A and B are shown apart, each in its own frame.
Chain A
Amino acid sequence: MDDRLRETLSAMMDDQADELAVRRVLSHHDQQAVRDQWQRWQRIRDVMHEAPAGHAGLDVREAVSASLDQPAAGDSGHQSAGRRYAPWRWSAVAMIAVGVAIGFGAGSGWDVMSGSGPDTLVPVQAQVPAAAGVPEVTLQGLDPSQREQFSRYLLEHAQNNSMAAGQGAVGYARLTSMSGSGQGY
Chain B
Amino acid sequence: MKVHTREAGHTAIIWMLLVVTMLATGMARATERETADAWLLKLGPALNMTTYRGIFVYSRGDQVSSMMIAHRYRDGSVEERLVQQDGAGGEILRRGNRVLCVLPEQGRIHLDQVIPSGPFGEAFASQQVPVGAWYQPQMLGEDRIAGYPAVVIGLEPRDDDRYGYRLWMEKHTGLLLKSHVRQDGEVLEHFQFTMLEITDELPDSEFEIRSGVEMKEVTPYLPVSGDAGEMDGWNLGWQPDGFMPVDAPRTSRGQAVAFSDGLATFSVFVEAAGGTEMPEGASRIGATTVYMHYVSPGAGSQDRFLVTVVGEIPPRTAMRVAQSVAVDDRNALARTLAD
Contacts and interface: CB of A to CB of B under 8 A. Distances in A.
Contact of A170 (B82, B120, B176, B282): B176
A127 B282 contact: no
Interface string A141-183: 1100110111111111111111111111111111111111110
Q: Which of B84, B92, B286, B288 has most chain A Cβ within 10 Å?
A: B288
B290 A150 contact: yes
Nearest to B220: A163
Interface stretch (B15-23, B28-36, B229-237, B306-314): B306-314
Nearest to B279: A137
Contacts of A150: 278, 283, 290
A21 interface: yes
A128 B286 contact: yes
B67 A172 contact: yes
Interface string B116-153: 11101011101100000000000000000000000000
A129 interface: yes
A76 interface: yes
B279 A126 contact: no
Nearest to B48: A168
A182 B87 contact: yes
A20 B59 CA distance: 14
A136 B284 CA distance: 9
B25 to A, nearest CB: 23
A167 B179 contact: yes
Interface residues of B, number: 85
B69 A169 contact: yes
A72 to B, nearest CB: 9
B310 A154 contact: yes
Interface in B37-73: 43-44, 47-48, 56, 58, 60-63, 65, 67, 69
Interface string B174-190: 00100100000110100
A148 B275 CA distance: 12
Contacts, number: 235
Q: Which of A24, A131, A134, A160 has most chain B Cβ within 10 Å?
A: A160
Contact of A181 (B106, B281, B312): B106
B240 interface: no
A53 interface: no
A16 interface: no
A120 B163 CA distance: 30
A139 interface: yes
Contacts of B336: none
A185 interface: yes
A4 interface: yes
A20 B62 CA distance: 9
Given A168-B47, A169-B191, A160 B113 contact: no
Nearest to A131: B315
A163 B283 contact: no
B315 A157 contact: no
Q: Which of A4, A20, A136, A174 has most chain B Cβ within 10 Å?
A: A174
A141 B88 CA distance: 26
Contacts of A164: 117-118, 123, 126, 246-247, 258, 260, 265
In order of increasing CB-CB distance, the 5 nearest A-B pairs are A173-B58, A126-B61, A135-B281, A180-B87, A157-B310
22 contacts: A20-B61, A126-B61, A130-B282, A130-B284, A130-B289, A131-B282, A134-B282, A134-B315, A135-B282, A136-B281, A137-B281, A137-B283, A139-B285, A153-B308, A155-B114, A156-B251, A159-B114, A161-B311, A167-B47, A172-B116, A174-B60, A184-B285
